[in-house]
Structure 1
Amino acid sequence: MLVTAPRLYIRRPSPTTAEFTVTTCPPLTLRLRLLLAALFLLRLLVLTTAILVLHARFFLQQSAPSPSSSSSPHSHSHSPPPPSPPPQFLALLRAGDIPSLLTTLLQALHQSPLGRATSAVQRALPLPDWAATALALAAGWAACCARVHTTESVLVLRGLGVQTSWMGGGGGWLGWVLGWIMGWGGGTRFIPTEKIRDVLINEAFRGWEVRYYLVVVVEGEEDVVVLFPGLLPRRKIVEAVWRGMRGCLFEEDGEEGEEDGGKG
């Protein structure tokens, strides 16, 4: 439902430019958009919970009052603090006081229903700090970086070269922002036209099956550059991209083509 077999989309904005995209993302119907929105909210919920767990473990416990300072013998050190006045988020943001803004935001989250539920679960299931930290970090990583679908593309510019790009998808802006900052889950490479010697289809065994690889022979490099290395689409898609690339790179007028809504 969220992932399909690799599909090919061809876009030709001009006679000398062609973009070939292979993706495992199905067509964005209303149902799929709702599912992706629900998945995004789930990721945000998991990430917020992981942050609350880490903050409660290593910051709130250090500043929590000792049992002897309680005015009542029945008071509990893990009880949530009394409600505070509404935080002035905009005032702190305008003042540029980011540490105070983050601290105030975390305190407000701890007083929210999600924060109270997280505290209740931690009291009901006591874990050592190392175990809680490992679980929180694993949950946060999965919320930000786990891929739902993969997209790889090749942009061909006659007279300039070929640009390949790949990225994981389905993670929403959380995964996109972290991937952009840390260099995770994607990348690009540009190959100038003068270094491209040929575009070939190679046949090789992968396990017990025969797979077809679309490769670019680059001058000065011992190894060929494999296009769509993560998805390795089937022969029909590989041949369509091969014909389109050669037509755009090496033929005078290119090949006539129209946008393909999903070959494959």
Structure 2
Amino acid sequence: MQIFARITSPATQSLTTYRPTPSTISFTVSTRPVPRTLPARLLFYLSILVRIILGILALALLWAKWRITFPIEGDISKGVRAELTTWVLGSSAGQAATRISTRLQWRLLIPGALGVLWGVCRRGYTEESLLVLSGLGIQTSTSSPTYLSTATTRFIPTTSIQDIFIHEAFKGFEVRFYLAIVVQGEEDVVVVFPNLLPRRRILEEVWRGARACLHELQPKSKF
């Protein structure tokens, strides 16, 4: 039961606050595991190395299969590219890739290689951030699921921000808190950290810091 609960439990979220200047503050909520012990760090770097090796192996098998199926012919076969191809395929690693690729059909090799490449390029964690620029506005950002695409961002100027508040809503069979921005001229609010929906304690810390930074340079009323 403990193993099942550990697998089905949501990923641990962490909040990182960064303030490079008095008028700028960034809040980042992430599910990325932070290795703190030496064995955890070694395992982390080992997993990166394994992913790189698997990606190179998948590309090598595809390339070897392509060269075997469509060899270089004609005058091009006498060029530098042909010599490089011969040298690579003649090496021990190239011969191993050639032997494996010859035993695999395209209908098996392509889906398998694409699956491996997708797993290698998959980020494996989610990061969402809120950047507050005092007197200018707010920028929200959500990381992409893979390393090949950029994050989704949106900038909301201060003149369009009417309010920032914490509210609650139903998600499935549970009540979740969320941080929302009321934008002038829009019917729906902008939800900050929409995918992670962090705990209320994190939302309250972000809410207090964002409001304080966003309005700290605005002139105070004399009355």
Distance 1:224 1:42 in 2: 43
Q: Which runs of 5+ in 2 are unaligned?
A: 1-9, 74-78, 219-223
**Paired residue for 1:136?**
113
Farther-moved stretch of structure 1 (128-137 vs 155-164): 128-137
Distance 1:100 1:220 in 2: 62
Q: Once the two structures are superposed, what CA deviation does each residue of 1:197-254 show, in whole Å capped at 9, x if it has no partner?
A: 111112011111111111111112222111111211111101111111111123459x
Secondary structure of the 2:126 match is strand
Q: Once the two structures are superposed, what CA deviation does each residue of 1:71-107 show, in whole Å capped at 9, x if it has no partner?
A: xxxxxxxxxxxxxxxxxxxxxxxxxxxx967983x65
Change beyond 3 A, Cα 1:241–1:127: same
Which of the numbers 146, 150, 154 marks the counterpart of 2:126? Answer: 150
Give the TM-score normalised by structure 2: 0.78
**Paired residue for 1:10?**
17
Secondary structure of the 1:13 match is strand
**Paired residue for 2:70?**
62
**Paired residue for 2:135?**
159
Question: How much identity, in percent, do the aligned residues show?
Answer: 42
For residues 231-250 of structure 1, the aligned pairs below 5 Å read: 231-250=196-215
**Paired residue for 1:201?**
166
Q: Which has the higher contact order (CA 8 A, sep 6+)?
A: 1
Change beyond 3 A, Cα 1:210–1:109: farther
One-letter amino acid of the structure 2 residue matched with residue 137 of structure 1: L
For residues 61-100 of structure 1, the aligned pairs below 5 Å read: 61-63=69-71
Asked if 1:216 is matched to 2:181, the reply is yes
CA RMSD of aligned residues (A): 2.9
Contact 1:24–1:149 (CA under 8 A) maintained in structure 2? yes
Number of residues paired by the alignment? 203
Distance 1:17 1:239 in 2: 18
Change beyond 3 A, Cα 1:240–1:57: same
Distance 2:190 2:160 in 1: 12
How far 1:52 sits from its partner (Å)? Answer: 1.8
Distance 2:185 2:82 in 1: 51
Contact 1:148–1:168 (CA under 8 A) maintained in structure 2? no
Give the TM-score normalised by structure 1: 0.67
